[in-house]
Chains A and B, each alone.
Chain A
Amino acid sequence: MRSLATLLVGLLLLLLQSTVMEFAPVHLVTPSLGLLVVLYVGMATLKWAPGSAVMVGFCLGYLFDLVSGAPRGVHAFVFASVALLARMLAWRLAVRGIVLKAAIAFVASIVAGFLIVVVRAQISPESGYGGLAQAPLEALLTAAFGPPVLWLLARLDGRLDPALLRVGLARRRARALGHGIPHR
């Protein structure tokens, strides 16, 4: 349920990413919103198992390949790798605060850009290793969107957490029963 909801949110963000450029003054680069979802599931060590995080990364990447017209598998591989790298980083570093979240989003975007270019060069050698010049600008935009998107995802994830849902239901039930007890 939670994975499906996260995938749906990720897909909506991907679609937003594909149309947000209509508003943007710079028409060549858009923030990588899908990558932020992958980054979130990778970094949320307490809520997401490593396998689930990588799976969500793979599925989102695959959807992104279909939506963006990129060769199938490029973003699937890269997003799964980013989820795994984020998990390895999260075991060593606690990401707190806006600045650190933006910095992590920046680094993740740069790493993803580098991986995409490398994978692209392997499957279509005529493309070469070009395109990295745009990576810093895309990373800056992704970093700017990073903290609010990660915060929103954490809020959504909190609401869909099975453990919290059980607690919430128990509280509601207790409150409902409490209404029947007369006040002294």
Chain B
Amino acid sequence: MIAIVFVVSIFLLRQSARSPEYLSPLDRGILTMVSPIQSAFATSARSLGHLAGRYVDLVHVRAQNEQLRTENDRLRAELLEAKRGAAESVRFQRLLGLRNSLTAETLAARVIAIDVSPYFQVARIQLDRGENLVQRGMPVITPEGVVGRINRVSGDTSDIMLSVDPRSAIDVVLPRSGGRGILKGKPGENGYRCAIEYLMQGDQAKVGDAVVTSGLGGFPRDLPVGRVSKIVRNSAGLIQGIEVTPDVDFARLSEVLVVVAPAPPPDPEASVRRPLAPSHGLAVYH
């Protein structure tokens, strides 16, 4: 029995190496059953977190008299609720702003789990609608910047491979120098870090330089990705090592946008004025 278990494990590993996105009907069934529970856990965890935060805020007012404390408690609770509501409203407004500013078609989704395993930087999202529109490889963004790509889809839940995962690759540019490279996750680091590969020595980068998307690979153009935090120049080689700190705080990710259809290509002749050609059949009367 033990041998069979290990043979099945190795078979699964080989299958994962060949087609990582594949999910069997059994997997889909399990995920369909587990996702609502996971979502409920996430909602409960958030509520408990808010309650705990409220309790911590209230501890220091215990010394005050009962009337003032009751009044203070009520006002504080209301204030916290209002702040939370305002923060949520700002987040939604920013998300909506980003959505309206993009010509690409997007879908909003809620993050229900993130970084379950420290060895695979993956987040799980749940869509409110349009579950059949999401496919593997679709970009995922927030107003702060690039989050990653859809890696696996099952019903209304999808896994995002974060931009800091070593398996991720995103085409980026440094607007200041015009340098271009591939952003990849950096394994073996505490915290979320990534690095730009294949950036030529001639493209002089500086610490603090902004890194944005190039517009290739499905991501909308000029989306913030992060800032250059470290540069390693190799005198012998042509390529320099650039470490990037992402703009997105992945630990606090709560809502995201999935780019389900890229922006239509710009019309190169949009600004050209053409003379009116004589029509056939319908004449233009002056």
Question: Residues of A at under 8 Å CB distance from B?
Answer: 11, 14-23, 27-30, 50-51, 54-55, 58, 61-64, 66-77, 80-81, 84, 113, 116-117, 119-120, 122-124, 126-135, 137-138
**Distance from B157 Cβ to chain A, minimum over Cβ atoms (Å):** 10
For residue A131, which residues in chain B have a CB less than 8 angstroms away from its CB? 118-119, 187-188
Q: Tell which of A76, A120, A130 touches B186, judged by Cβ atoms closer than 8 Å.
A: A130
Instruction: Say if the beta carbon of B124 comes within 8 Å of chain A.
Output: yes
Is the Cβ of A20 less than 8 Å from the Cβ of B45?
yes
Inter-chain contact total with CB atoms closer than 8 Å: 172
Partner of B117, one of A70, A123, A127: A70
Contact B2 A54 (CB under 8 A): yes
Which A residue sits closest to B50, measured CB to CB?
Answer: A22
- Taking a contact as CB atoms closer than 8 A, the residue among A19, A27, A74 that contacts B16 in the complex is A74
- In the complex, residue of chain A having the shortest beta-carbon distance to the beta carbon of B123: A69
In the complex, the answer to whether B42 meets A117 with C-beta atoms within 8 Å is no
Task: Please state if B49 and A23 are interface contacts (CB–CB under 8 Å).
Answer: yes
Residue of A nearest to B2 (CB): A54
Asked whether any CB of chain A lies closer than 8 Å to the CB of B216, the reply is no
30 A-B residue pairs with Cβ-Cβ distance under 8 Å, sorted by A, are: A15-B37, A16-B41, A18-B116, A19-B113, A22-B48, A22-B49, A23-B45, A27-B252, A51-B2, A55-B1, A58-B5, A67-B113, A68-B117, A70-B120, A72-B13, A72-B22, A77-B6, A77-B9, A77-B12, A80-B2, A81-B6, A116-B117, A122-B13, A124-B166, A124-B167, A126-B167, A126-B184, A130-B166, A131-B188, A133-B190
**B114 CB–A CB distance under 8 Å:** yes
Q: For chain A, what secondary structure do more than half of its interface residues adopt (helix, strand, loop), or is it mixed? A: helix
B46 within 8 A of A: yes
Once the chains are docked, how many angstroms separate the CA of A62 from the CA of B9? 9
Q: Which B residues are in CB contact (< 8 Å) with A17?
A: 116
* Interface check B27, CB cutoff 8 A: yes
User: Nearest chain-B residue to A12 (Cβ)?
Assistant: B37
